[in-house]
Amino acid sequence: MNGESREGLALFGGVLGVPPKALKSPLPASRERGDTGGERTSDHMQRQLVAGRPDAWMRLEFNPIPTCPGCQEPTATRAVLDVLEEMGMEGEAILVPGVGCHSLIPFMLDLDHVMSAHGRPPDLASAIKRVLGRGAADRALPLVFTLQGDGDCIAIGAGSLVNAAARSENITVLMLNNVNYGTTGGQMSPTTPLGHATSTTPGGRTPDYGYPVRVPEMLATFQGVAYAARGAVNTPANYQKTRAYIKKAFQTQMAGRGLSMVEVLCSCPPDWHMTPLNSLKWIEAHIIPQFPLGEFKGP
Amino acid sequence: MTDIGVKKELVAGRPDLWLRMENNPIPSCPGCHEPTAMRAILEALEELDAVGDAVMVVGVGCSFAFQSMVDLDYLVCAHGRPPDGASAVKRVLKGDHVVFTIQGDGDCIAIGAGALINAAARAEKITIFMLNNANYGTTGGQLAPTTPLGHVTSTTPGGRTPAHGYPVRVPELLATFQGVAYTARGAMNSPANYQKTKGYIKKAFAAQRVSLGLSFVEMLCACPPNWHMTPLDSLKWLEQTVIPQFPLGEFKDVQGASGKTQEATR
Amino acid sequence: MARGEIVIDENFCKGCGYCSKFCARGCIEQNGDRFSPQGYILAVFAHPEKCNACGVCAWMCPDHAIEAYRLVEAQTTAHS
Amino acid sequence: MADRLFVQGNEAVAWGAVSAGCEAFFGYPITPQNEITEWFAREFPRMGRVFLQSQSETGSINMLHGAAACGVRAMTSTSGPGWGLMQEGMSNLANAELPCVVVLVQRGGPGAGTTRHAQMDYASATHGGGAGGYRNIVLAPASVQELHDFMPLAFHLADKYRNPVVVLSDAILGQMAEPLERKQLEFEPLPPKDWAVLGKAHHADGKRRGISIGQGFIPNPDFPTYLSFIDHLDKKTKQMRQDEVRFEALNVESARLILVAYGSMARACQGAMEMARAEGLDVGMLRPITLWPFPSQAIRRNIREGVQFLVVEDSLGQMVEDVETAVGERAPVHFLGMLARHEPREMGMIFPDRILEKIKEICRK
């Protein structure tokens, strides 16, 4: 992917079947944060940007983001980008996505990334951190983080995750937990809560299929894990807390204290067979009780 | 030399389940504790009268050799995959079977971490025995995830430091899973520890029999050749260096398991 | 009270409704009158007078379709 | 920097990697390649280079993926069962077009097989076992010196084509010791790795870099469609087939019988050839050095009236199929496999006199 350009991203139009033509975005093509843009409203007021697309989010001029309506993975990604911007670390950040719905997100981010095989991002991230973070004089320490789904992280990738924790790798693992396999159509994953119906547990998950895995709690038992937390983005308050967790995780990594991990609960309305708004209620009522929010191991 | 009227009674010999290999010793190194651990498991099976129902699933490592030495039905899986094989055996057989795996530490938590974690997540009614000798014995003593800090291996010639990470404590790790009924860690270095470990093994089997969930027992074993020690020194090393980093005891025993254990034992 | 304004990128909106749910002041509506080019029911900035530029709608929009602005008195130094 | 050492084949691999400028090694213990992993564990940290022991071969190959994406020369080594676990990664590395080197020290299969010597991984190394559609250059050294020399070559070819390269050793070569002359090999200059992922702040043009295993699946400016990516792979594969075929031919011009063998078996065959020629038999030998691309042309060029081929492999016959394909119906192809080991035990080897017996048997007919 040499010389990748923004124009190339219009190619997603081919994927989504939308003709790339004159749909004009009302947003200015480029702007600076806090820039008034010279635009004045009629009553001599000026506009100041409060919250927009994060700068690292590349514009897809002709298309929406290729996720389902109400999917919160881009929301979780926004929290990550906000933190990167706050820390001024966008230039040193290397993102390692796995395979799942979130695999598409890095293509839209203006960050260096290496896509991994299903479940293996901790392996790649370990190697990248050790190769680039050798204390060479000509570069700052890289900020290496993975972006994984729940299936990627703890089903197919459990071995990689556990052993990265055992080796106390200085990386950050971000797990977007939508409690099922979203990409393949909503099958049971190890994090599916009891009672949650999926296409492979049509009557709802029962203890016969085991119990949901609580990853931050599990990782907190490792001596080599420095930070483990679980957040959600279903309300503005939870969003802000999650953002704080991610920031702490990144700071833990930059301080070289060991592996840091943040799980983010995300909604998946189509595979839960719910409207987006009902899915937020479902998170509040059925998922958070089985996956308590908070920090489980901290600096 | 027995007097008339006095009968010789065997107190301890080879377990009945140990297949006699008349002309050969057991193919493990002098001082290796893995056959001791196997003896504890076999005795526990006999005491629980579970021999006929037992299926052993073996991984790859020094414990690989048990397949030819133990008079039990067995299945050998790929490196690290015995929890997968055992899960299927338990679910397919459906009856009152006692399905257990024998794995080394590398097999169990390095290459097989994914299989182990997901068997725990599925709350499989199987028992997993991890024989922890703190290194990769079969391939010549390399670093394992369970190598204690300071321990010299052939891939950490200066001793394990935090740069290589910290040793994984598997029973403590598994205890966080809702689907895990019983976890414990025993050692083979003294008669007292042997007896305690056998108790843990029996509880683990009992938890499986009453379908409480996955049960797990780690057994600390000496590996004199790869530790570059005499067998006796290796016992001291186990006592002084390994056990302080791997505390012995039970880490999870879901409510009622102990009570039901007695019942199942009877 | 601070005054605000939001801009919804209609090409990006997928009509999930999170913005209107989390707008504490009820500025955003989805009344089914307007559709995006992809056919989603658009969120509409129906009550600009109520907006206080908190930015929550923009955070909670998974599709990054919203930009929220605060309205401030025009500076004399600002370009005209 | 030429200096002479007396080392095992497995250590020669490590010295070769060092002279190639390898910066990172990721490994997992498996017999019979442990000496490689242990050498790197001992020496690399001292050199300020990266050594990391993975949790499995799946981990090794994916760590290699990460290191290669950073643009450094990185390698791993394994044996048969580990090679099986690496197939996923090999396919992904080929899709992501990442250069790296895998040293495969063969042992007996299938399954866990035996830790003793055999040549059982020819087919999976040359024809691949991951998600299909990729090709790797496979180099087959036959001496400790070549184990050293082929490492810089392998890294060079990997960088040249942005493709993984396999060095196919075996337990005999890995465990035997021979004199080794350490030297720096020179190759044509390579383009800079401006695709490497380093963090956005570290690129001259300020644009991001991305490495994907979904090239062709997820469009990018270089490959907007799947077929455009496949077309690129096709060109690359054809160029490798055209430019990278390597082999060694001994006395083939006039030979009535041509031996075909690679790796440790090529050495046994060379001995057998010399013994046969001393007895007046007109025997030649052709040793493929690249197993893929396979030197089919070289074999075809030597088909003349009355010529026959004898393939010797320490397996049940894998390369023989490629020789048969190259020869077709135009000459008889004979085979001598691992069942011809000199004693019916797993430690046995195929010795030159056993090959000579077979040569005589063929020539007598």
**pLDDT tens figures, D305-338:** 999 999 999 999 999 999 999 999 999 999 999 9
Say yes or no: A79 contacts chain D, CB-CB below 8 A: no
| CB neighbourhood size of A66 (10 A) | 18
Contact B242, B220 (CB under 8 A): yes
* pLDDT tier for residue B26 given thresholds of 50, 70 and 90: confident
Q: If you measure CA to CA, which chain D residue comes closest to A114?
A: D211
> What is the Cα–Cα distance from A18 to B19, expressed in whole angstroms?
71
Task: Quote the DSSP letter at residue D13.
Answer: H
Q: How does the average pLDDT of chain A come out, rounded?
A: 84
Q: Helix or strand or coil: residue B92?
A: helix
Element (H, E) at D231: helix D226-243
pLDDT for res A7: 41
Chain-chain contact of B167 with A221 (C-beta, under 8 angstroms): no
Say yes or no: A50 contacts chain C, CB-CB below 8 A: yes
Chain-chain contact of D41 with B157 (C-beta, under 8 angstroms): yes
**pLDDT tens figures, B29-53:** 888 999 899 989 999 998 998 888 8
pLDDT for res B265: 43
* pLDDT tier for residue D345 given thresholds of 50, 70 and 90: low
Of A39, A50, A278, which to mutate for an interface test with C (greatest number of C Cβ within 10 Å)?
A50
Domains of chain D, with CATH numbers?
A: 3-182 (3.40.50.970), 248-364 (3.40.50.920)
Chain-chain contact of D38 with B155 (C-beta, under 8 angstroms): yes
Both tokens assigned to A35 = 């820039």
**pLDDT tens figures, B72-124:** 888 888 899 999 999 989 988 877 889 999 999 999 999 999 999 999 999 99
Judged by 3 or more CB pairs under 8 A, whether C touches D is: no
Judged by 3 or more CB pairs under 8 A, whether C touches B is: no
Q: If you measure CA to CA, which chain C residue comes closest to A70?
A: C16
Q: How does the average pLDDT of chain B come out, rounded?
A: 87
| CB neighbourhood size of D279 (10 A) | 12
Which residues, including other chains, have CB under 8 Å from residue C62's CB and lie 6 or more apart? A65, A67, A70, A71, A72, A73, A74, A75, C16, C18
**pLDDT tens figures, C9-58:** 888 888 888 999 899 899 999 888 888 887 889 999 999 999 998 889 98
Buried-exposed string B69-106: b where 16+ CB fall within 10 A, e elsewhere: bbebeebbbbbbbbbbbbbebbeeeeeebbbbbbbbbb
* pLDDT tier for residue D340 given thresholds of 50, 70 and 90: confident
ipTM value > 0.95: no
pLDDT for res D346: 59
Q: Is residue B127's pLDDT more than 80? A: yes
Which of B60-64, D189-193, D302-306, D323-327 bottoms out in mean pLDDT, i.e. has the lowest?
A: B60-64
Mean pLDDT, residues B16-24 taken together: 65
**B16 burial class (0-12, 13-18, 19+ CB within 10 angstroms)?**
exposed
Which has more pLDDT, A53 or B97?
A: B97
* Paired residues of B250 in beta bridges: B184
Chain-chain contact of B110 with D56 (C-beta, under 8 angstroms): yes
Mean pLDDT, residues A176-203 taken together: 91
Q: Is residue A12's pLDDT more than 50? A: no
* Paired residues of A40 in beta bridges: A46
| CB neighbourhood size of D145 (10 A) | 18
Percent of chain D with pLDDT over 90: 78
Which of A42-56, A65-79, D3-17 bottoms out in mean pLDDT, i.e. has the lowest?
A: A42-56
Residues in chain B with CB shorter than 8 Å from the CB of D41 are 142-143, 154-157
Say yes or no: A156 contacts chain B, CB-CB below 8 A: yes
> Which of C7, C38, C56 minimises the CB distance to A18?
C38
Residue-range domain boundaries for chain A: 1-24+55-64, 66-297
Mean pLDDT, residues A28-52 taken together: 60
Cα-based angle B68, B73, B78 (whole degrees, multiple of 5)? 70
Among D224, D99, D212, which Cα is nearest to A109's?
D212
Q: Is residue B17's pLDDT more than 50? A: yes
Q: If you measure CA to CA, which chain A residue comes closest to B178?
A: A211
Which residues, including other chains, have CB under 8 Å from residue B185's CB and lie 6 or more apart? B171, B200, B217, B218, B219, B220, B246, B247, B248, B249, B251
> Which of A119, A158, A222 minimises the CB distance to B168?
A222
> Which of A46, A61, A71 minimises the CB distance to C74?
A46
Tell me the shortest Cα–Cα distance from A167 to chain B, in angstroms: 4
Residues in chain B with CB shorter than 8 Å from the CB of A257 are none
> Which of A4, A106, A126 minimises the CB distance to D66?
A126
Q: If you measure CA to CA, which chain B residue comes closest to D111?
A: B78
> Which of A45, A73, A239 minimises the CB distance to C71?
A45
CA distance readout (Å), A118 to A157, B77, D87, D92, D100: 7, 23, 13, 10, 20
pLDDT for res B225: 92
Residues in chain C with CB shorter than 8 Å from the CB of A73 are 62
Q: Is residue D1's pLDDT more than 60? A: no
Torsion sign across C-alpha atoms A44, A48, A51, A53: positive
CA distance readout (Å), C74 to A42, A49, C3, C70: 11, 14, 13, 12
> Which of A38, A47, A276 minimises the CB distance to C17?
A276
Residues in chain A with CB shorter than 8 Å from the CB of C15 are 69
Chain-chain contact of D66 with A166 (C-beta, under 8 angstroms): no
Q: If you measure CA to CA, which chain A residue comes closest to D55?
A: A163
Reduced 3-state DSSP string for A179-202: CEECCCCCEECCCCCCCCCECCEC
DSSP annotation string for D139-167: E---SHHHHHHHHHHHHHHHHHHTSEEEE
Say yes or no: A160 contacts chain D, CB-CB below 8 A: yes
Residue-range domain boundaries for chain C: 3-71
Say yes or no: C13 contacts chain A, CB-CB below 8 A: yes
- Would residue D232 be called left, alpha or beta, if left means φ above 0 and alpha means ψ between -120 and 50 degrees? alpha
Chain-chain contact of C62 with A65 (C-beta, under 8 angstroms): yes
Contact A280, A71 (CB under 8 A): no
* pLDDT tier for residue C76 given thresholds of 50, 70 and 90: low
Mean pLDDT, residues A224-242 taken together: 95
Q: If you measure CA to CA, which chain B residue comes closest to A207?
A: B123
Say yes or no: D39 contacts chain B, CB-CB below 8 A: no
Q: Is residue B147's pLDDT more than 70? A: yes
Chain-chain contact of A211 with B162 (C-beta, under 8 angstroms): no
Backbone Cα Rg of chain B: 18
CATH number of A66-297: 3.40.50.970
pLDDT for res B2: 53
Contact D333, D327 (CB under 8 A): yes
Q: How does the average pLDDT of chain D come out, rounded?
A: 92
Which of A63-77, B250-264, D18-32 bottoms out in mean pLDDT, i.e. has the lowest?
A: B250-264
Say yes or no: A115 contacts chain D, CB-CB below 8 A: yes
CA distance readout (Å), A168 to A39, B172, B241, D185: 51, 17, 21, 38
The domain defined by C3-71 carries CATH number 3.30.70.20:
yes
Chain-chain contact of D52 with A126 (C-beta, under 8 angstroms): yes
**pLDDT tens figures, A102-157:** 888 888 888 999 999 999 999 999 999 999 988 776 678 899 999 999 999 999 99
Q: Is residue A52's pLDDT more than 90? A: no
Contact D290, D245 (CB under 8 A): yes
Q: Is residue B134's pLDDT more than 50? A: yes
DSSP annotation string for B208-240: HHTT--EEEEEEE---HHHHTS-HHHHHHHIII
* pLDDT tier for residue D352 given thresholds of 50, 70 and 90: very high
> Which of A90, A124, A130 minimises the CB distance to D200?
A90
Q: Where are the alpha helices (DSSP H) in chain A?
A: 6-9, 12-16, 73-87, 121-132, 150, 158-166, 215-219, 236-254, 269-272, 276-282
Q: Is residue A40's pLDDT more than 80? A: no
Q: If you measure CA to CA, which chain A residue comes closest to B147?
A: A166
* Paired residues of C73 in beta bridges: A45
CA distance readout (Å), A19 to A6, A15, A41, A221, C37: 17, 10, 33, 52, 11
> What is the Cα–Cα distance from D69 to D199, expressed in whole angstroms?
11
Mean pLDDT, residues A178-205 taken together: 90
> Which of B110, B139, B156 minimises the CB distance to D41?
B156
**Amino acid symbol at A106:** P
* Paired residues of A145 in beta bridges: A95, A172
The domain defined by B34-265 carries CATH number 3.40.50.970:
yes
* Paired residues of C45 in beta bridges: C28
Q: Which A positions 13-52 lie with beta carbon below 8 A of chain D?
A: 14-15
> What is the Cα–Cα distance from D100 to D67, expressed in whole angstroms?
9
Contact B44, B201 (CB under 8 A): yes
Q: Which A positions 259-278 lie with beta carbon below 8 A of chain C?
A: 269, 275-277
Say yes or no: A292 contacts chain B, CB-CB below 8 A: no
Q: Is residue D116's pLDDT more than 70? A: yes
Q: Is residue B139's pLDDT more than 80? A: yes
Task: Quote the DSSP letter at residue B193.
Answer: H
Q: Is residue A35's pLDDT more than 70? A: no
**pLDDT tens figures, A248-298:** 999 999 999 999 999 999 999 999 999 999 999 999 999 999 999 999 998
Percent of chain A with pLDDT over 70: 83
pLDDT for res B255: 61
* pLDDT tier for residue A18 given thresholds of 50, 70 and 90: very low
Cα-based angle D314, D319, D323 (whole degrees, multiple of 5)? 135
Q: Any idea of the CA torsion for A23, A24, A25, A30, to the nearest 10 degrees?
A: 130
Residue-range domain boundaries for chain B: 34-265
Q: How far is CA A101 from the centre of its chain?
A: 10
Q: Helix or strand or coil: residue D210?
A: strand
Contact A259, A226 (CB under 8 A): yes
Task: Name the phi and psi angles at B165, rounded to 5.
Answer: 90, -175
Say yes or no: C41 contacts chain A, CB-CB below 8 A: no
pLDDT for res B136: 93
Q: Which residue has the tokens 């003349």?
A: D304
> Which of A40, A64, A69 minimises the CB distance to C11?
A64
Chain-chain contact of A27 with C9 (C-beta, under 8 angstroms): yes
> Which of B80, B138, B155 minimises the CB distance to D53?
B155
Say yes or no: C34 contacts chain A, CB-CB below 8 A: no
Residues in chain D with CB shorter than 8 Å from the CB of B113 are 55
Element (H, E) at D73: none
Judged by 3 or more CB pairs under 8 A, whether D touches A is: yes
Both tokens assigned to D215 = 């090239």
Of A130, A161, A170, which to mutate for an interface test with D (greatest number of D Cβ within 10 Å)?
A130
Chain-chain contact of B155 with D56 (C-beta, under 8 angstroms): no
Q: Which D positions 162-221 lie with beta carbon below 8 A of chain B?
A: none
pLDDT for res A32: 43
* pLDDT tier for residue B262 given thresholds of 50, 70 and 90: very low
Chain-chain contact of B122 with A213 (C-beta, under 8 angstroms): no
Cα-based angle B22, B32, B156 (whole degrees, multiple of 5)? 145
pLDDT for res B22: 57
pLDDT for res D136: 94
Tell me the shortest Cα–Cα distance from D53 to chain B, in angstroms: 8
Contact B253, B182 (CB under 8 A): yes
Chain-chain contact of A69 with C74 (C-beta, under 8 angstroms): no
Residues in chain A with CB shorter than 8 Å from the CB of B178 are 211-212, 214
Task: Quote the DSSP letter at residue A261.
Answer: E
